[in-house]
Every structure is written in structure tokens, then in C-alpha cells.
Amino acid sequence: MKHSFPLVASLMVMLAAAAAAAGAADIKIGFVDVERIRRESAPAERASKQLEKEFAPRAQELQRREAQVKSLQGQLEKDVMTMSEGERRSKEQELSRMSVDLQRLQREYREDLNMRRNQELATLFEHADRVIKQIADAENFDLIVQEAVFRSPRIDITERVLKVLSDGK
């Protein structure tokens, strides 16, 4: 989730004020790299493999149709001089129809794949948020952020989140 700079700055000022008001009370802050969770977590890898498996037949069908279009286009270019006008027009219409169908199928494939990928990512991030909350509760974190312009490696808890996700908890 993207935040505007003023919102983040305001949050940091409020945290600093809260720390001052608490009088030297330690505030424990953590950071989680959401992009690493998306790329490296075991559930993300499983989801990616599942999506590949689920969409492989459609991808193969698209490749087959694309080869048909290229083949017909090559045949048309090769035989254009020896074809009658009617035959040429018929082949061009067939090629046009096949190209339009291929483009439609490719668009539907991309839309369906993106929709399923977004569903899987939503599930992953819901699970990751529960894990982050568990870690925050167990280790008494006051704040865990997911975006920052700068962060010290010592507050990065991404590895712990990845470990819990890979353990399947």
C-alpha cells in the first residue's frame, strides 16, 4: 500500500512524540519487505507453480494457434502470385479471422492469469499479515512497517516471517 510522504512523516513525528511522552520508554519497530515475501516465500513459490500448472494447457493452445497463424501467413506470402484473386481474398480473410481470435484468446488468457495471480497474492498477504501480527505480539513490537525510504537491517524481520511461512504455520 503506497502512502504519501506527509502521512509517513506525520506518523513518524507522532511516534517520536509518543516516545518522548513515555519518557525514555523503548519503542520497538520492525520492518517487513513485502516484495521479498512475494518473491521468496514458500507459499508464493507454491502458488506460482500451481498457476503455471493451471494455465499450461491454455498457454500451449495459444502457442499452437500462433504457429497456425504464422504458417498461414507464410503460405499466403509464398503463394500470393500463383493464387486466384478469390482464393487470395479467402485466405486473407481466414488469416484475419484467425489473428483476431488469437488476439482475443491472448487477452482473455492474460486477464484470467492476472485475476488468479491477484487472488493468490491476496491469500498470501493475508497469511503473511497474520504471521507478522503473531511475531509482533510474541516479541512486543510497537510498530511494524512495510514501506520505508530507509531502514536499518537490524529492524528487518523479513527473514523471520519467511521462515514461519516456509514452516507452514
Residues 37-48 have a mean pLDDT of 94
Q: Is 116 helix (H, G, I), strand (E, B) or coil?
A: helix
pLDDT value of residue 97: 97
Contact 31, 151 (CB under 8 A): yes
Q: Pick the most confident of 23-32, 124-133, 159-168.
A: 124-133
Q: Does 16 score more than 60 pLDDT? A: no
List pLDDT tens digits, range 80-138.
888 899 998 999 999 999 999 999 999 999 999 999 999 999 999 999 999 999 999 99
% of the chain surpassing 90 pLDDT:
72
pLDDT value of residue 81: 87
Close Cβ partners of 141 (under 8 Å, ≥ 6 residues apart): 28, 29, 30, 135
Which pTM value belongs to this model?
Answer: 0.72
% of the chain surpassing 70 pLDDT:
85
Contact 127, 10 (CB under 8 A): no
**Other C-beta atoms within 10 Å of 154: how many?**
7
Compute the chain's Rg from CA coordinates.
27
- Grid cell of 39 as nine digits: 518473491
